[in-house]
Amino acid sequence: DAKTTQPTSMDCAEGRAANLPCNHSTISGNEYVYWYRQIHSQGPQYIIHGLKNNETNEMASLIITEDRKSSTLILPHATLRDTAVYYCIVRVEQTGANNLFFGTGTRLTVIP
Amino acid sequence: NAGVMQNPRHLVRRRGQEARLRCSPMKGHSHVYWYRQLPEEGLKFMVYLQKENIIDESGMPKERFSAEFPKEGPSILRIQQVVRGDSAAYFCASSPPDGYYEQYFGPGTRLTVT
């Protein structure tokens, strides 16, 4: 079962930052937070992951609260191509426990 | 580098026929995962394989479904005697041998059972 809670949908104006929240209040000390997105029925695309420190890459930033019970994915300058369903997933990094549990995600719509 | 490849992209089968879905992982990847996505739902894990081994099949239906990842060639997801409820998008993902981290997904195979 998914261990995360996300809003069902969000809108964001094109060019603005999109901030997607995720609650994972039961996260364990050895579980990472992962974000994937799925654009219109394509295969999911990896975005970013982190354990406790904030992370940034060319796609997005991940802000994890100090108690690790929630996180926020930030798309700094949303474009129309960022319209997708965004999945927040927690998982342990160990052999044999590699499957991803996808919940219902957040449907982000970027508005022109 | 070529990404994860799946074929066919679309597959139509009549009830009772067999469906074979193929997945070629990214070059150098030896871990393969299969997921199923029913209409308007999130992806559900089915099975995790390494070369010639099934590591975790906890998400596979007990009957009619099987998967393999031979030493040579693509991974195969096989569905025998398909029923309408098997209509879904089936996604394959792969990861490198030392990487438990991100999984790279293919474009999926959309199975329609008529």
Return the pLDDT at B100: 59
pLDDT in tens, chain B (114 residues): 579 999 999 999 999 999 999 999 999 888 999 999 998 888 999 999 998 999 889 999 999 999 999 999 999 999 999 999 999 999 999 988 775 567 899 999 999 999
Please name the member of B45, B95, B105 whose beta carbon is closest to the beta carbon of A43.
Answer: B105
Per the CB < 8 Å rule, is B102 touching A98? no
Q: Which residues on chain B are in Cβ contact (under 8 Å) with A41? A: 89, 108
User: Torsion angle, CA of B39/A42/A14/A109, rounded to 10 degrees?
Assistant: 10
Convert the pLDDT of each residue in A41-91 to its tens digit. Answer: 899 999 999 999 899 999 999 999 999 999 999 999 999 999 999 999 988
Nearest CA in chain A to B37: A41
Q: How far apart are CA A91 and CA A99, in angstroms?
A: 8
- Calculate how close chain A gets to B14, using CA atoms only, in Å: 23
Report residue B66: phi and psi, to 5°: -150, 160
Note whether A9 and A106 are within 8 A (CB).
Answer: yes
Tokens (6 digits) for A25 = 């209040």
Residues present in chain B in total = 114
